[in-house]
Amino acid sequence: MTNLGAVPRTAPIAIAPKPSQLFSSRHHNSHDASLHSMNGNDSTDSDSAVSGNSTPCESCLRRRLKCVVGDDDDSCVSCQVRGILCSLNQSPQPRKRKLARDSTEESNGKRGSPGRSDNRRQRQRQASLSSTTASTSLIEEMANFGGPTLLKRTLGLQEDRYSQYIGPTTDFEPSLINLSPFDPQDESLLARGTLRKVSDNDTFLMLPDSATPGHEHQYDDVDEIQRLVAPHGRKLIDLYFEVVHPAFPILQKNVFYEKYDRNYREFSPPLLAAVYILAINWWDYSEELSKSQRPNVRELEKLIRSSLADAMWRPKLSTVQAGLLLSQRPEGDQWAPTAQIVAIAQELGLHLDCTHWKIPPWEKGLRKRLAWALYMQDKWGALVHGRPSHIFSSNWVVQPLTPNDFPDAELDEQNPEEKIDIERGRTLFVQMVYLTQVLAEILETFYTLEAMQNVTDAGPQGTHLVLGLAKPIQLKLKEWYAALPSVIRMDSSFQSGTVAPAVAPTRLSSIGYLHLAYFATEITLHRRIIRSLETDSQAVDPYVQHICRSAAKARLISAMDFVNRLTPQHLRSFWYFASKTNFALIGTFGSLLWATSPGREEADWYRRRLGEYRWTLSVSSKPGESKGLTEFAMGMLDISTGLLKQLPEKPELSRSGSAIEFEAGRRQSIFSMGMSGTIGEHYSSMASADISNIQSPESQIDSSDEDYDTFAPMAGMANMGD
């Protein structure tokens, strides 16, 4: 125990233990001398090493450490402790440094060769460090290898080590791990790696990046990425944090800027490229950038794919961030990468409760935000791709988000506009998490193979089973919408007392993606109900069918009216990746109701409404305002309505059985049940109105969700489903 305590456990280490000669009496005294020298150094404006050797090694020179070398050794103590190659043990190298731009131009965009000298890679790794005050001890200095002041004692963002969560069934026995001697930094050196204990029950294995495939050319990749966007890198970073980050806060803004200002090479190549490539979508939004030529996006995409594949061998929080950001591109929401991101996140322990872990508080908040962003990616991906989810509640113990999980340092009291955007974005993100949990319940209740088989096995009672299960979920959706903060409601003003009216209208707002997700969730629930009605149409009472179809119609019209009310402030903003499919789901739902209409009159009504919806989508697809976002929905709408042309001719219902007459009688039924007759009147006008010749689509009813939700369709279904 005593001997192990002398080892600086927080240092990035090699897999194998260091030679025993490192801990001889002579070297131990040299180590103490180095510590004493660092404690006495308060210089912050010198780039030279603390002198202790006439020709210090390059590592100590950059770290401003005293370079101590024994009489019989070829490398200094500091390099031996960190397990890195010391320049004193190599042939003399020229001291002249090349600029990063010169190096990248020399490489001509090609990956580094494995044959490049280790000395050059070592110089690249520690280039351009900030001139911060020296750490109080060598142990702390090793823990923060690379110099980031905001990355102290992190678990998932260390520059040269990555972590692997040790699960309960691996070859590591938890009870034996607890017997391992841990130093004051909660680390224990083993032949296989370094154990890092973050709580009584959670332990990670820390391993060096240098042993992973592709590590040798990551600096070439990040240099090439920076070259592709030069000289606009910083402007793209600012644009990302202005447009994307407020509505999707999965980065730590202050940490990101600190690293970028110090040296862009500290970034994981795929993360830096992902930020750039997302920001480029708003290139024309910046008056300054719009005057310049856009970077080569295809080349960026190639670098992202190759560098992200390499990063998966040494996963960090930045790997998950890069994967999530890439998935937000309209063309980047493929299902297979989602499975990879989930696997990487589990490797990093994002599915665990990190509340009491021994990591910096800001990393706890970042982990929780990343975990819930991953949860949303998985659930919405399962919806839009029709695939089984990868995340299950039985293996998910992440705690709900709180205000403390968002960094206050992002709020600029001197910039009221930015402050409003950030606060709105945080509220938006949290509410999207809550809504996703309801969506997850819908998917689990109705769309798993087991759930669908249960309805089939219920036979004639299948519809009643579906209605009984749907009622509590519908109430949750109603409560969620009723509790939405006013700042993210669609009718909320973009102006406030602190924002000048002349400036406020230029601010983008991403609240549209949340409301669209709400309608997609409602539609996903009602689609299952309509399907069950068609399966057992002969066994279901006509009145129950009418109640269900009327509720579905209300949802459809409300969703279409929402799309009609979107403004350029909404359309030009950041939209969540599932949005393009959610727009399409509205048209798909209308096509389903058209196909299942009992008579010609109702089918014609849906046909006209879908025509209006397509018109709205086409208007919303003007260049620079959501190009590609609504085009996908138009394409899917054309496909579904094209298939509907193959339907047999619908019968023309007799007047006594027409939808209009049925609706008139239903208003009395609603009144007798103590409900408002307003909805029934709206249904009557919708069924009889012919609005196919209007120039601009307008909803025939008041589309506020409060009016629709007071209808409470499941209240009527409950009595018939029991």
Please tell me whether residues 477 and 511 are part of one structural domain: yes
Q: In angstroms, what CA-CA distances link 349 with 163, 185, 354, 384?
A: 9, 19, 9, 26
Residue 627 pLDDT level (bands cut at 50, 70, 90): low
Q: Are residues 517 and 593 in the same domain?
A: yes
Helix-then-strand count for the chain, H and E: 28, 4
Report which of residues 73 and 94 the model is more confident about.
73
Q: Between 677 and 168, where is the model more confident?
A: 168
Q: Per-residue pLDDT tens for 93-114?
A: 444 434 443 444 334 444 443 3
363-396: string of b/e by CB count within 10 Å (b at 16+)?
Answer: bbbbbbbbbbbbbbbbbbbbbbeeeebbbeeeee
Rg (CA), the chain: 31
Cα gap 399→409, rounded to integer Å: 22
What band does 73 get if pLDDT is binned at 50, 70 and 90? low
| 3-state class (DSSP) for residue 206 | strand
Is residue 116 a part of any domain in this protein? no
Single-letter code of the amino acid located at 98? K
Residue 233 lies in a domain: yes
Task: Determine contact, residues 85/118, Cβ cutoff 8 Å.
Answer: yes
Q: With 50 as the cut, is the pLDDT of residue 50 above it?
A: no
| Nearest CA among 36, 122, 34, 118 for reference residue 70 | 34
Give yes or no: residues 425 and 401 share one domain.
no
The structural domain count of the chain equals 3
Q: Are residues 353 and 339 in the same domain?
A: yes
Alpha-carbon dihedral 115, 119, 124, 127, rounded to 10 degrees: -170
Q: In angstroms, what CA-CA distances link 479 with 447, 484, 705?
A: 23, 9, 11
Q: What is the per-residue pLDDT for 155?
A: 94
Question: With 70 as the cut, is the pLDDT of residue 549 above it?
Answer: yes
Residue position matching structure tokens 């949303």? 376
- Is there a single domain that holds both residue 13 and residue 153? yes
**Is residue 615 domain-shared with residue 641, that is, in the same domain?**
yes
- The confidence band for 63, taking pLDDT boundaries of 50, 70 and 90, is low
Q: Identify the band that residue 542 occupies on the pLDDT scale cut at 50, 70 and 90.
A: confident
Distance in angstroms (rounded) separating the CA atoms of residues 291 and 283: 9
Mean confidence (pLDDT) of the chain? 76
Question: For residue range 316-373, what is the model confidence (pLDDT) as tens digits?
Answer: 999 999 999 999 987 766 899 999 999 999 999 999 999 999 999 999 999 999 999 9
Instruction: Check whether the bond before 460 is cis (ω within 30° of 0).
Output: no
Question: Is 560 in a helix, a strand, or coil?
Answer: helix
**Separation CA 157–CA 410 (nearest Å):** 20
φ/ψ of residue 203, rounded to 5: -135, 145
In order of 132, 237, 285, 412, 428, the CA distances from 425 in angstroms are 33, 18, 19, 14, 5
Closest listed residue to residue 608, CA positions, set 557, 664, 652, 646: 557
Q: Are residues 391 and 457 in the same domain?
A: no
Return the SS3 of 161: strand
What does the alpha-carbon distance between residue 172 and residue 647 come to, in Å, rounded to a whole number? 62
Closest residue by Cα to residue 122 from 163, 65, 160: 160
Residues 582 and 482 in one domain: yes
Are 369 and 452 members of one domain? no
Among residues 410, 445, 460, the one where a domain terminates is 410
Contact 678, 450 (CB under 8 A): no
Residue 133 is given by DSSP the state P
User: 100 in a domain, yes or no?
Assistant: no
> Domain ends where: 184, 211, 238?
211
**Whether residue 204 sits in one domain with residue 252:** no
Residue 322, burial from CB neighbour count under 10 angstroms (0-12, 13-18, 19+): buried
Amino acid at 498: T
Does 82 reside within a domain?
yes
Give the domain-ending residue among 211, 230, 262.
Answer: 211
Percent of the chain scoring above 70 in pLDDT? 67
Mention every residue, 6+ apart, whose C-beta is less than 8 A from residue 384.
333, 578, 581, 582
Is 649 a member of any domain? Answer: yes
Domain assignment of residue 49, given as a range = 4-95+127-211
Considering the domain architecture, whether residues 649 and 545 belong to the same structural domain is answered as yes
In this prediction, residue 18 carries a pLDDT of 37
pTM: 0.74
70 CB-contact burial (10 Å; exposed 0-12 / middle 13-18 / buried 19+): middle
Residue 110 belongs to some domain of the structure: no
Query: Is residue 278 located within the same domain as residue 138?
Result: no
112: in domain: no
pLDDT for res 60: 73
CB 548 within 8 A of CB 530: yes
